[in-house]
Amino acid sequence: MANIKRKKGTIGILTGGGDVPGLNPAIRAITIRALREGYQVIGLKRGWAGAVGIIRDKKADNSRNYLTLTEEIVNRTGRTGGTFLHSSRTHPGHVAKESVPDHYKDKYKDEMNDMTPEVIKNLDFLGIDYLIPIGGDDTLSYGVHLFKQGFKVIAMPKTMDNDVPGTDYCIGFSTCVTRTIHMTNSLRTSAGSHERILVLEVFGRYAGFTAMLPTMAGAANRCVIPEYKFSMEHLTELLTADRNSNPSKYSIVLVSEGAMFDGGEMIFQDQERDAYGHAKLGGIGDMVSAKIKELSPKYNGGKALNTITQRLGYLVRGGDPDAVDSIVPMAYGNLALDLILSGIHGRLVVLKNGRYDNVPIDVVTSTKKFVNVEKHYNIDRLRPHYRSFEMQPQFIMTSD
């Protein structure tokens, strides 16, 4: 039974960037613990967009920007995927003229606008004492900025790429790896039936963890990652040999969306960029597939090999969280409340070497997290190293 206490303060929660399974369990964990400790909880909608868009008038309709959270609300969604608070890639420090909310258009007329002063006033208007942003390095980098402006922020790492610095684990990563393994194993039946090479494009803009772990687990023969520019000739030679030595005559490669081959660059769907300067990736898998077919006769007795290409993308992002992405968000939410109850802020809750902890929030912007190619990636075999696992973290190559 909830403890009936005098209201201690108000905690704000927001989710930014791409959706992942595990966000709703995190929101639920924070809310239930906070309410039972005597706090009010406000969910800001659409990430930082909700914090920007608030109308500071008690009579105004702010239903698009925030809602007060209750146990009933979060219990309905706590076991589901995605985020019921919705998300966006809004950067309040770089709001394009056309994206400035109507009630601010007379004040912010530049092509690009820093609306941080309004965000701080809006959070104050809501009476928010502590803010918990849940997101990747882009979302959390603005949380670091707010903290440096004097606001009380506790950050929670979330991204399928698992590349937020300072933590071994980001919400969403386990479900992504689990689904990638499952879908690869499902698609191998088609590859085997038609004796083809299966090319699967997976998430990973700058870091190749989502390609490395499934390959290490045996889902694929090879993987190519953003941290190492690979040779298409060498990849084709390896995959052709893999296919021809397989009794079922197929082989599989996982291709990180940010992977690049020698002489090439990242492949973008278009030139449109989000508020953090990122263009949408997509297409490297198709390019790799076409090049394999073109080059394969050289390594297959003059005969071209056909391929099957699939971009896993949102198939691994949607749906319910797995066990890890149900448990870790619960722990992260309670870690955040432990800090608040101790009057501590400016921290990132983390899972490090198998133990829950917290680190200074500015680790998010002070360093980057990539696959250590020398330690974990065999550039000759284009796949993870199999070396000693003793005293390694659970996900092997995810420690800084």
> Could you tell me the pTM of the whole model?
0.93
Q: What is the DSSP string of 245-284?
A: HSTT--EEEEEETT--BTT----EEEEEE-TTSPEEE--H
Domains recognised in the chain with CATH numbers: 9-171+321-366 (3.40.50.450), 174-312+373-384 (3.40.50.460)
Contact 171, 26 (CB under 8 A): yes
> In this predicted model, what pLDDT tens digit does every residue of 364-394 receive, in sequence order?
999 999 999 999 999 999 999 877 888 888 8
Contact 102, 74 (CB under 8 A): no
C-alpha of 196 from chain center? 31
Residue 7 has pLDDT above 70, yes or no: yes
From 161, 163, 168, 325, active-site residue: 161
Please name every residue paired with 177 in a beta bridge, in sequence order, or none if there are none: none
Burial of residue 254 (CB within 10 Å: 0-12, 13-18, 19+) is: buried
What pLDDT does 276 receive? 47
> What value does the mean pLDDT take over residues 39-62?
97
> In this predicted model, what pLDDT tens digit does every residue of 237-258 receive, in sequence order?
999 999 999 999 999 999 999 9
Residue 124 has pLDDT above 50, yes or no: yes
Q: Catalytic residue at 322?
A: no
